Amino acid sequence: MYDQIERKVAEIRAEWEKVCTGVNTPQELEELRVRFLGRKGYIPRLFAVLRELPPQERAAAGKLLNSLREEIQRELEALKEKIAAKAEAERLKREAHDFTLPGTWRGVGTLHPLTQVRLEIERIFMEMGFDVASGPEVETDYYNFEALNIPQDHPARDEWDSFYIGEGLLLRTHTSPVQIRVMKSRKPPVRIICPGRCYRRDNPDATHFPVFHQVELLWVERGLTMAHLKWIIEEFVRQFFGPGYEMRFSADFFPFTEPSAQVHIRRKDGPWLEIMGAGMVDPAVFEEVGYDPEEVTGFAFGLGIERMAMLKYGIDDIRLFFQNNIRFLEQF
């Protein structure tokens, strides 16, 4: 019986030496371990035969099998380290960089010109002490119209009627609803600007687009007059456009301001250009938000960011801002 064990050990060792040299992956190594040392592998099956040997042969046979098992275990560990080292070397080779090669140029993106103009407008008014307020783009009819002194039958709705998305819900036509929301949640004094995206049913052309961006300003406090409004606008024009501009007011009508005005500017003897609508807040709006128009006054104005960008950079077509033309955008 011992002779049979000895012969079987020699066969297993010979087979091991034959197959171990072809192992290259962790998966193959695990298959080899199971084949020789697994619960049903060659060596465990031989150990099961030991109990059948005569007692005087059992110790020698056990020593022979233990020696074979330890030898294969050592070689399995060596193979494991070799495979891991090979994999690491391949990874390093794959991830290596040749720093002598010229670099690959990747263009760096910049802020959209409308974003740049919005940030500049926000900076100017924040330095004057105004807070930035925001509100939802999907508005209720109440905040977009009713609270701003524009009831259902008001003719001004013809100009501002927009994209309705449900009963009493629409995409806001201006950022004035933000002013109402702020006044309903805060007592005077109120000093805010309201930048944001707006929507109107305009056919796209050189000066109109159904999506546009607006910044509105609201200042409510005791004793404010048109003189304060004019000073704020003059200071904004000076900082935004630079020196050398003239400004004038002309009468206009807005349901939520009284008196109301259009603001125009020009440089030297150039043409007058409209930049915004403005006016003193209508007492009816104050009453709607719970302010006493006998105690406080206020003024508001709104300007289009696209309009300001077109004036600042000499752009003659509003549609350029929305066409994603890289050659156009790279100029800013």
Write the pLDDT tens digit of every residue in 53-86.
Answer: 777 777 777 777 788 788 888 888 888 888 888 8
3's tokens:
């002779």
Q: Give Dmax over CA atoms of the chain in angstroms.
A: 123
Question: Degrees (nearest 5) of the Cα angle 22, 33, 71?
Answer: 90
Please list the residues that pair with 166 across neighbouring strands: 169
Give tens-digit pLDDT for 117-149: 999 999 999 999 999 999 999 999 999 999 999
In the chain, DSSP assigns E strands to: 131-132, 138-140, 164-166, 169-171, 190-199, 211-221, 245-254, 257-267, 273-281, 297-304
**pLDDT-derived band of residue 94, with 50, 70 and 90 as boundaries?**
confident
Mean pLDDT of 183-192: 95
Query: Which pTM does this prediction carry?
Result: 0.67
The Cα–Cα gap between 262 and 275 comes to 8
43 contact partners, CB below 8 Å, separation of at least 6: 12, 36, 37, 65, 68, 69, 72
Is the pLDDT score of 320 beyond 90?
Answer: yes
81's tokens:
């380290």
